Chains A and B, each alone.
Chain A
Amino acid sequence: MGLSSNLLVIGLIAVAAISFVNQSFAQSTSTPTYARVEIWALFYRLMVIAFVVGALVLGVIGYIVWRFRESHPKNRVPTREPLEGGHH
């Protein structure tokens, strides 16, 4: 990933974080803040993120287990020679 892409990613994260901090801890607005509502809202936002990331990773694990199992049609014949010499 090039420098420009890195800067872009850092910028996006920073903007997201500022928004997150403002929403969570803003105290200076005239509208009253209900801590219970804010906390549950934060909880649901984090859970959405956690479930999305979790679904992606579990999906990858599921795909690996399905595709690279030794009984898969493309995997029945050994695809590579056993390692010679050392371990790992």
Chain B
Amino acid sequence: MVLEVKRPRPMWEILFSTHHTDVGLLYLIFSITAFIMGGALAMSIRTELFLPGQQLFADSNTFHRVFTVHGTDMLFLWVMPLASAFGNYLIPIMVRYQDMAWPKLNAVAFWMVPVGAALIWMGWADVTWNAYPPYSIIRAPGPAAEMWIFGLKILGISSVLGGVNFVVTILKMKHPDLPLMKTPLFVWAQLVTSLMLIVSMPTFAASLIMLYTDRLGVSGFFNPAMGGDPIAYQHLFWFTFHPEVYVFLIPAVGMLYEMIPKFSRKPIYSYASGVIAFVMLAIVGFASWAHHMYATGMNFSEKTVFMVGTLAAVPASAMHVFNWLATMWGGRVKFAAPMAFTIGGIILFFGAGAGGIVNTAMPLDFLTHDSYWVVGHMHLFLMGLITFAFIGFIYYMFPFITGRTYSEKAAMVQFWMMFIGVILIFFTQHLLGLYGQPRRTFDYVPVPPLIMMNQISTFGAWITGSAAALFVANLVYSVGWGKPADMKDPFHIGEQYYDYRRKEPHH
């Protein structure tokens, strides 16, 4: 086994390594750190909203800065690096190659992430994670906004470099005796995700430059005072970031395909339908960006096209869910922590999908647009399926990476706290939206229903925050003092595992 943590090695050897398991480990540690930092900001946001009026922050501008950094951190420093962590760790092993195609480029892609993160955290911008003009080009204070733009720019380049490396590793470095249709679905997930990133990211890269030159006053692409169109930015932004939703989602789905058959003690019900659903999601992911913009005055035909395009994602998502359920059906399911997080994630995924259908039905979108419904919906995806799958997969890979076992009891307590906490936070936020509370507001109308629901949501956040603290404590303690794992069967399932071993020595 690759005992990246247990085997004593000087820190600098890992930090300056280009080996894919080392780079994967760095991504993993970095992303968990970002998760905790972003989560701390989330706690402060919910604490501020526990009661109407000013509670915690000095003014609304500070509140805007906090949720901007929270959103940017969670999306670009937790979700994306975590997918890269396990992609780096597993893809070369799964395609039977000695490393990523370009190991040095891979290390460069990782080391760009802390640089981008530093710009975002030190800049403390208030532009929201969308950075919509005209605010972001006319009023947003600098140099925070500039630092945010350059931070995102660097993270985008890092993503494209990583994506190109994954595509080349999978398609060109794969062992010639290994057909693509025999690789695990996790490989397909990484391949599809990387291709989507490569196609979508340049649009946002261009719009960031346009945003920057607009701020400098040398152009007016999005500045109405100079004849520009702020809506054009929204098109460019969402052309990248609606596909990005699937870039966040698909690696998590790939991880579930690793865990569900193992803990069900059964093969995947339909490998082919998993592949087809990945490809379908990748295609329809590009057909729905403007559903974020119904309220901008699009005409009926445009809205219809994007509504249908969005609904086309439902069959593909349902194929995955039914594939998982059919895999479990007739199995002998062991509910260790990874599987508990998997089941919890699927349930929350279903709730998020149901809310999304309401968002995409264009007449209904006007009810929910810019309200707390949207906050509840997107967080149910990100915190529900994606984060649950990620945490489950971290527990699943923990023995293989460290050679030790984590505390199963603590992990199950964490699961139930997070499951209940997430439901309390985000289901309640859907109702808050229907009651008319706008998103991104420092204060709200002091009426009993809003106060009560905000308090339920905040209470859920405190439970979830405590669970996240337990998660980190469990990992840190178990890395150092956990029981040595039975490396042939760390979860006592009685079946064979995928051969996650790195056989070649580090180079």
Give residues in A with beta carbon < 8 Å to B.
24, 35, 38-40, 42-43, 46-47, 50-51, 53-54, 57-58, 60-61, 64-65, 68-70, 75, 78-80, 82-83, 87-88
Give the contacts of B290-344 with A (CB-CB under 8 A). 321, 325, 328-335, 343
Q: Pick from A40, A58, A69: contact of B350, CB below 8 A.
A: A58
- A35: chain B residues at CB < 8 Å are 363
| A43 B358 Cβ-Cβ under 8 A | yes
- A24: chain B residues at CB < 8 Å are 363
Contacts known (A42-B361, A82-B494); A50 close to B330, Cβ less than 8 A: no
13 residue pairs A–B, Cβ–Cβ below 8 Å = A38-B363, A39-B363, A46-B361, A53-B354, A58-B350, A64-B328, A70-B335, A78-B332, A78-B494, A83-B495, A87-B496, A88-B261, A88-B271
> Interface majority SS on A: helix, strand, loop or mixed?
helix
Q: Pick from B329, B357, B497: contact of A68, CB below 8 A.
A: B329
| A46 B358 Cβ-Cβ under 8 A | yes
| Residue among A24, A42, A61 having the largest count of chain B Cβ atoms under 10 Å | A61
- A61: chain B residues at CB < 8 Å are 325, 343, 346-347
In whole angstroms, what is the CA distance A13 to B330 when docked? 32
The 4 closest A-B pairs by CB, nearest first: A50-B354, A87-B498, A39-B363, A82-B495
In whole angstroms, what is the CA distance A78 to B266 when docked? 12
Closest residue of A by beta carbon distance from B354: A50
Whether, in the assembled complex, B367 has its beta carbon less than 8 Å from a beta carbon of chain A, the answer is yes
Contacts known (A54-B351, A75-B332); A42 close to B497, Cβ less than 8 A: no
Whether, in the assembled complex, B267 has its beta carbon less than 8 Å from a beta carbon of chain A, the answer is yes
Digitize B470-507: 1 where CB-to-A-CB distance is under 8 Å, 0 elsewhere.
00000000000000000000000011111100000000
Closest residue of A by beta carbon distance from B364: A43
Q: Pick from A39, A69, A78, A87: contact of B367, CB below 8 A.
A: A39
Whether, in the assembled complex, B265 has its beta carbon less than 8 Å from a beta carbon of chain A, the answer is yes
| Residue among B264, B325, B363, B497 having the largest count of chain A Cβ atoms under 10 Å | B363
In whole angstroms, what is the CA distance A70 to B356 when docked? 34
Give the contacts of B357-377 with A (CB-CB under 8 A). 357-358, 361, 363-364, 366-367
Whether, in the assembled complex, B268 has its beta carbon less than 8 Å from a beta carbon of chain A, the answer is yes
Give the contacts of B255-274 with A (CB-CB under 8 A). 261, 264-265, 267-268, 271
| A88 B329 Cβ-Cβ under 8 A | no
| A68 B267 Cβ-Cβ under 8 A | no
Closest residue of A by beta carbon distance from B331: A68
In whole angstroms, what is the CA distance A81 to B150 when docked? 56
Contacts known (A42-B361, A87-B497); A68 close to B264, Cβ less than 8 A: yes
> What is the distance, in angstroms, from A22's C-beta to the closest C-beta of chain B?
14
Q: Could you list 12 further interchain pairs (A-B, Cβ under 8 angstroms) beyond the known A46-B358, A88-B184?
A: A40-B367, A47-B358, A53-B354, A54-B354, A57-B350, A60-B325, A64-B328, A65-B335, A80-B265, A83-B267, A87-B499, A88-B498
Question: How many positions in chain B have a CB within 8 Å of any CB in the partner chain?
Answer: 36
> What is the distance, in angstroms, from A78's C-beta to the closest C-beta of chain B?
7
Closest residue of B by beta carbon distance from A35: B363
> What is the distance, in angstroms, from A87's C-beta to the closest C-beta of chain B?
5
Q: How many A-B residue pairs have CB under 8 A?
A: 81
Contacts known (A54-B351, A58-B347, A69-B333); A43 close to B496, Cβ less than 8 A: no
In whole angstroms, what is the CA distance A69 to B332 when docked? 6
| A46 B499 Cβ-Cβ under 8 A | no
- B495: chain A residues at CB < 8 Å are 82-83
In whole angstroms, what is the CA distance A61 to B328 when docked? 9
- B334: chain A residues at CB < 8 Å are 70
- B268: chain A residues at CB < 8 Å are 88
- A78: chain B residues at CB < 8 Å are 265, 332, 494
> What is the distance, in angstroms, from B162's C-beta to the closest C-beta of chain A?
26
In whole angstroms, what is the CA distance A56 to B271 when docked? 24
> What is the distance, in angstroms, from B347's C-beta to the closest C-beta of chain A?
6
In whole angstroms, what is the CA distance A54 to B328 when docked? 19
Closest residue of B by beta carbon distance from A50: B354
- B499: chain A residues at CB < 8 Å are 87
In whole angstroms, what is the CA distance A58 to B366 when docked? 29
In whole angstroms, what is the CA distance A61 to B333 when docked? 12
- A46: chain B residues at CB < 8 Å are 357-358, 361, 364
In whole angstroms, what is the CA distance A53 to B357 when docked? 13
| B329 A42 Cβ-Cβ under 8 A | no
| A88 B267 Cβ-Cβ under 8 A | yes
| Residue among B332, B354, B499 having the largest count of chain A Cβ atoms under 10 Å | B332
- A40: chain B residues at CB < 8 Å are 367
In whole angstroms, what is the CA distance A79 to B361 when docked? 46
> What is the distance, in angstroms, from B258's C-beta to the closest C-beta of chain A?
9
> What is the distance, in angstroms, from B350's C-beta to the closest C-beta of chain A?
6
In whole angstroms, what is the CA distance A58 to B325 when docked? 11
Q: Pick from A39, A53, A54, A64: contact of B364, CB below 8 A.
A: A39
- A88: chain B residues at CB < 8 Å are 184, 261, 267-268, 271, 498
In whole angstroms, what is the CA distance A58 to B364 when docked? 24
| B325 A79 Cβ-Cβ under 8 A | no
In whole angstroms, what is the CA distance A82 to B266 when docked? 9
| B496 A39 Cβ-Cβ under 8 A | no
> What is the distance, in angstroms, from B490's C-beta to the closest C-beta of chain A?
15
